[in-house]
A and B are shown apart, each in its own frame.
Chain A
Amino acid sequence: MIRIEDIKKQFGDQEVLKGISTVFEHGKTNLIIGKSGAGKTVMLKILVGLIQPTTGTVWYGDTNFTALNTKQRKAIRTEMGMLFQGSALFDSMTVEENVRFPLDMFTKLTKKEKQIKVDKTLDRVELTGSNNKYPSEVSGGMQKRVGIARAIILDPKYLFCDEPNSGLDPTTSMKIDELIRNITEENQITTVINTHDMNSVMEIGDNINLLHLGELAWVGNRHDVMTSENELLQDFIFASPFLQRLRDAANLNKNA
């Protein structure tokens, strides 16, 4: 579990996060949603330690992550995996080398043991046979899956995803969502996803945190989304006329 207490972040005069406290629950897909500029990416980067909050604390279990120095954070970092928005794959390495990279850096496994683990992980993300391809030779969806494979190769306790569906078609997007959800449930890890994909919200949102202008506007799950009367939530989720019609039709059926 990850707990954040009164996180504030200021860049110069601009206050991006204005005192956010919430919990990202163990074994669940925790979502951070909100409009562009709401502070989602800053929040995610604070969680993984890429940005230091102006004030506030981030707790990983009983450990105050924000109070640790770079060396001390290393122990927790090896329990983290992160999928970046652009996948952040190393261009000069093959798919296999990318996925094997954390094993090369942090384990003393033999070459054979690493190969077995890499093959198993690539199989898990349905990329068997892509070992020798370079990131530029695979599709966007496949790059995301390589990113996920690299993020989970060390069996992390925490998985972070920054807009995992960005740039993907709806079908591939759903597959990525399903993969993330399955990995979360199978391995009972704490997954935090930064997204503004409505399908992700409705399909895998176990614990949804809505940010609005740097503040936490609503917390709930995907079932609560339909029935909540929070105006900010309704404006955000049902921004498109199509989804508004769906919601109205669902409410009509419910009342009938």
Chain B
Amino acid sequence: MYWKETTRQMIDIGIGSLVIVGLVSVFIGAVTAIQFAYQLGSSSIPKYYIGYIVRDIMIIELAPTFTCLALAGKVGSNIAAELGGMRQKEQIDALEVMGVDTTAYLVLPKIIAALTVIPMLVVLSAFMGMAGGYTACTVGNLVSEAEFMQGLRAFFDPYNIWMMEIKAFVFAFLLTSISCYQGFFVTGGSIELGRASTSAVVISNILILLADYVLALILT
């Protein structure tokens, strides 16, 4: 097991994705809060439901799905380009001639790193989304701070956290393995490398959404 390589990948995937995950999460949390407040209008549904909905929708759906869709673009394309570039420059051949197990050295650390770090990023995303919702609500006077916090605490079901993390693991595996496959088996020149990188993102996104649907059926 190549721990040094795995650690490097964890830092790349984890630390390197903090900004994008944070930004995406804050904004989707804010938009969710604003849109739901708009939907509520002057209905008789209590205003604290905004906090409750933001919390659950972030945890159950938006944090794992949007985070992994964003990471498919950032991390997935990077992985495909890295491995594809190595393939084209014969670096993977060099490793094989040396006797290095290229799958164990190049692919496995990425998958293990993703399975370790992405669920953590999803948890961070959920918190950032709630923070975004809170900011949007309080700054925009959509709901009072007390009501929002009341909503955050209302009807909490710990099972939703399990759902979030199961989704995170499945999506993390999909985006990393697809990207590794696309890059590892690339042939040709720079056009093919570009295609491989794009395919990694597109296929990952499609399969993440498909898996999201399947998991929603199974887990709910």
A74-B99, A77-B99, A78-B99 known; A50 vs B89 contact (CB < 8 Å): no
Does A105 make an interface contact (CB < 8 A)?
yes
Interface residues of A in 63-91 (CB under 8 A from B): 70, 73-74, 77-78, 80, 82, 84-86, 88-91
Residue pair B89, A77 in contact (C-beta under 8 Å): no
Q: B95-135: contact bitstring with A at CB < 8 Å (1 yes, 0 no)?
A: 01111110000000000000000000000000000000000
Does B93 make an interface contact (CB < 8 A)?
yes
Question: Distance in Å from the Cβ of A84 to the closest Cβ of chain B?
Answer: 5
List of B residues within 8 angstroms of A101 by Cβ: 98
Does A106 make an interface contact (CB < 8 A)?
yes
Which has the most chain B C-beta neighbours within 10 Å: A70, A73, A84, A160?
Answer: A84
Residue pair B98, A50 in contact (C-beta under 8 Å): no
Does B91 make an interface contact (CB < 8 A)?
yes
Does B23 make an interface contact (CB < 8 A)?
no
Question: Distance in Å from the Cβ of B94 to the closest Cβ of chain A?
Answer: 4
List of B residues within 8 angstroms of A88 by Cβ: 89-91, 93-94
Interface residues of B in 65-110 (CB under 8 A from A): 85, 89-91, 93-94, 96-101
Out of A70, A85, A89, A102, which one reaches B98, CB within 8 Å? A102
Residue of B nearest to A73 (CB): B99
Out of B89, B97, B101, which one reaches A86, CB within 8 Å? B89
List of B residues within 8 angstroms of A80 by Cβ: 97-99
Tell me the interface secondary structure of chain B in the complex.
helix
List of A residues within 8 angstroms of B93 by Cβ: 45, 50, 84, 88
Residue of B nearest to A104 (CB): B4
Residue pair A106, B99 in contact (C-beta under 8 Å): yes
Question: Distance in Å from the Cβ of A86 to the closest Cβ of chain B?
Answer: 6
Residue pair B99, A86 in contact (C-beta under 8 Å): no
User: What class of interface size applies to chain A in its complex with B?
Assistant: 20 to 34
List of B residues within 8 angstroms of A125 by Cβ: none
List of A residues within 8 angstroms of B94 by Cβ: 82, 84, 88
A90 and B92 CA atoms in complex are apart in Å by 10
Out of A50, A89, A91, A105, which one reaches B100, CB within 8 Å? A105
A86 and B92 CA atoms in complex are apart in Å by 13
Question: Distance in Å from the Cβ of A233 to the closest Cβ of chain B?
Answer: 30
Q: A23-54: contact bitstring with B at CB < 8 Å (1 yes, 0 no)?
A: 00000000000000000000001001110000
Other 15 A-B pairs with CB < 8 A, given A77-B99, A78-B99: A48-B97, A74-B99, A80-B97, A80-B99, A84-B90, A84-B93, A88-B91, A88-B93, A88-B94, A90-B91, A91-B85, A101-B98, A102-B98, A105-B100, A160-B97
23 contacts between A and B (CB under 8 A): A45-B93, A49-B96, A49-B97, A50-B93, A50-B97, A70-B101, A78-B98, A78-B99, A80-B97, A80-B98, A82-B97, A84-B90, A85-B90, A88-B89, A88-B90, A88-B91, A88-B93, A89-B91, A91-B85, A105-B98, A105-B100, A106-B98, A160-B97
